[in-house]
A = this chain, B = another copy of it.
Amino acid sequence: MTKQIQGNYFEDFRLGQELRHATPRTVTEGDQALYLSLTGARFALNSSAAAAREVGYDGLPLDDWLAFHLVFGKSVPDISLNAIANLGYAEGVFRQPVYPGDTLSTVSEVIGLKQNSNGKTGTVYVRSRGAKADGTPVLDYVRWVMVRKRDPDSPAPEPHVPELAEAVPAAQLELPANTNFAKFDTGLTGQPHLFEDFVQGERIDHVDGMTVEEAEHQMATRLYQNTARVHFNQHQESQGRFARRIVYGGHVISIARALSFNGLGNAIKVAAINAGRHTKPCFAGDTVYAWSDVLETMALPGRGDVGALRLRTIATKDRPCADHPLTDADGNYDPSVILDLDYTVLIPRRA
């Protein structure tokens, strides 16, 4: 058994450890077409190279979540192959745009470790950084996962839980170099609403629903070279807790983002991930709906052309979101809720 990939167990991680993840990946127009085809994304800067160039990009940038999934996927064999649960995200910042031809790779640093009281598992916190071959940073984020111990008798490490920001502040958002959204043309999206039209506390139902098929989530997850076994092996999962393959949570994020075009069509770019939970598994056959809560409207220092919205997007399965399902009086999630994502998007300002 020594030649196979074993993944790391809780006791294999060390605070400060750096993991260089395998299989760098050159992204292409093929990835972009598949992403549209699998998610239904329609945001202007990722659909039209002409529109992207108009605001200062060098070409058609990869959808931010496509870049995220590729960077994330590389970390799976080292970080979460033996994970029980993906617990959270924080401090995610999207940096420079990715274009076809760029080769992405990922490095993670262990920034926290805490054994659980049962002695069988522990929480590992990592900061993962995606970059191009020339070192240009693409995105970085913190995630924490519950990982099995190989040997329950191995000693617990000194507990260290990192302090994480509740949200990425406006001053830490990074805008693509040389962009200017003052000339952004809402005719591209067919939606007139810009930064000034959104107010804190506003809730937007994204109306449409998208049913997920096995072939679709498998194709998406393989495209990202994410090797987590629960997504692909029905023979094994048929004996598992759900008797089903589980849809990669990132595919749900992508569908929710794609659905959010209906109402947030001018939210042209994802700038940050503040927090996120996959509150329940999604399975093939489920129909995903979504709605968003505007948590905050943020002016950006030195930018009169573009602002930011901090959003909380909730995805449900098999339940329309006209009444914004979320939690009951006790704070328990509505049974339909599968995603609770806190993130920040850029949206042009009115000239």
Contacts and interface: CB of A to CB of B under 8 A. Distances in A.
Interface of A: 1, 3-5, 20-26, 28-34, 36-40, 42, 44, 47-51, 60, 77-78, 100-101, 103, 133, 187-191, 193, 197, 204-211, 213-216, 218-220, 222-223, 225, 227, 229, 232-236, 245, 262-265, 285, 287, 289, 318, 320
B77 A190 contact: yes
A193 B38 CA distance: 36
A90 B254 CA distance: 37
Given A30-B29, A33-B33, A23 B50 contact: no
Contacts of A234: 211, 285, 287
Contacts of A47: 23-26, 225
A75 to B, nearest CB: 11
Nearest to A191: B5
Given A26-B60, A33-B34, A50-B103, A227 B245 contact: no
Nearest to A219: B37
A190 B232 contact: no
Q: Is the interface of A mostly helix, strand, loop or mixed?
A: mixed
29 contacts: A3-B191, A3-B264, A4-B206, A5-B190, A5-B265, A22-B190, A23-B188, A23-B189, A23-B190, A24-B188, A26-B49, A33-B33, A33-B34, A36-B223, A37-B219, A42-B225, A49-B101, A49-B103, A208-B227, A208-B229, A209-B235, A211-B233, A211-B235, A211-B245, A215-B216, A216-B219, A233-B287, A234-B287, A236-B287
A318 B215 contact: no
A20 B318 CA distance: 34
